[in-house]
Amino acid sequence: MDSPWPHLSYRLWDRTCDTLHAHTQVLGKLAAALAPPEPQLQHAALRLTARGWETAPLPAPNGSGSLGVTLDLRTHEAVVEHSAGTTERIALTPNRSVGEVTRVVLAVVQRLAGPVEFNPAPQEVSWTVPLDEDDQHATYDPDQVSTYFDCATRAAQVLAEYRAPFRGRATPVNAWWGSFDLAVNLFSGDSATPPSADFIMRNAMDSQEVAIGWWPGDERYDRAAFYAYAYPPPSDYATLTLAPPAAHWDSTLGEYVLDWDDIRENDDPHTQALDFARSAFQRSCHVCDWDGALVASALGKPPPVN
């Protein structure tokens, strides 16, 4: 048996969680401002790496090369790196506010790479204070962050294994700074009508897809969990039966959910989470009438490597 998956409850680390979430928004807004636009807003997505949350290499505004920004969750620092070799580190300490960290990060970015237009308004969260003025979020517990990072790493490994054999268009394992989740989106190749004219909806949801993801809990749902949904869903979408038995439809979220605590102490939580992702995809595709050969490829038929 592998080491058990850690316990993670939003209620036990909500203040640190919200601070960390706000820090990720700084990285995401830099990516949204500097990276070339991609379908489904992929240019704005971050990645969870062996260090923490990171941007892809971003074009320096002054044309001097590329820029990368990382929230290093091992050393507990925000790290700004330029392709020319310059690196600057900003400590994430227990009582350092989001506003202070944001102002320092932006100053470093400007010094290394030139001025950037930065929208400080937080997105998809309950608070409205601009990121560069945010003195409300100033709780950072390194031990809690380390536990989160352990959990997120395990979840990302599940999502990566699930998407690996699929032969259609798919995203990598994205770290989304608005909703503070990890997600993989697999696409059928057909277009879809977005659910609203909202900027995010009309750009992110214009293709038929199945999304599988994980988040550490939030104000609406205070438990870490894997989730799944199809877009656009058929009218009877909420009636599917997924594996493992603990998976269930949550009518408030409008998603299928597998709670972290329902599997984390089992003999093989990784396999159970992978079963959830695969069953959600297969059964979603069946009721959404996807091409059968494309669906089969997600199970390695044909295998990705011969």
Q: Report which residue type is found at 260.
A: W
| The pLDDT of residue 4 | 86
| The pLDDT of residue 244 | 98
For 169-227, the pLDDT digits (tens) are 999 999 999 999 999 999 999 999 999 999 999 999 999 999 999 999 999 999 999 99
Q: 186 Cβ partners below 8 Å, 6+ apart?
A: 163, 166, 168, 169, 170, 209, 210, 211, 212, 281, 298
Question: What's the predicted TM-score (pTM) here?
Answer: 0.97
* SS3 track for 251-292: CCCCEEEEEHHHCCCCCCHHHHHHHHHHHHHHHHHHHCCCCH
For 87-109, the pLDDT digits (tens) are 999 999 999 999 999 999 999 99
Cα angle 123, 31, 22 (rounded to 5 degrees) comes to 40
C-alpha distances in Å from residue 71, one per residue of 48, 62, 273: 10, 23, 26
Work out the average pLDDT over 11-25: 98
The pLDDT confidence band at residue 306, using thresholds 50, 70 and 90, is confident
For 274-286, the pLDDT digits (tens) are 999 999 999 999 9
Q: Report which residue type is found at 219.
A: E
The kind and range of the H/E element at 215 are: strand 207-215
Q: What dihedral angle (degrees, nearest 10) is formed by the CA atoms of 296, 298, 303, 304?
A: 140
Q: What percent of the chain has pLDDT over 90?
A: 98
Residue 257 Ramachandran class (φ > 0 left, ψ -120 to 50 alpha, else beta): beta
DSSP 84-113: TS-EEEEE--TT--HHHHHHHHHHHHHHHH
| The pLDDT of residue 1 | 46
Q: What is the C-alpha to C-alpha distance for residues 156 and 221, in angstroms, rounded to an integer?
A: 20
For 42-88, the pLDDT digits (tens) are 999 999 999 999 999 999 999 999 999 999 999 999 999 999 999 99
- DSSP code at position 170: B
| The pLDDT of residue 2 | 60
For 239-259, the pLDDT digits (tens) are 999 999 999 999 999 999 999
Per the structure block, which two tokens stand in for 276?
């959830």
The stretches of the chain forming alpha helices (DSSP H) are 10-34, 98-113, 142-163, 199-204, 269-287, 292-297
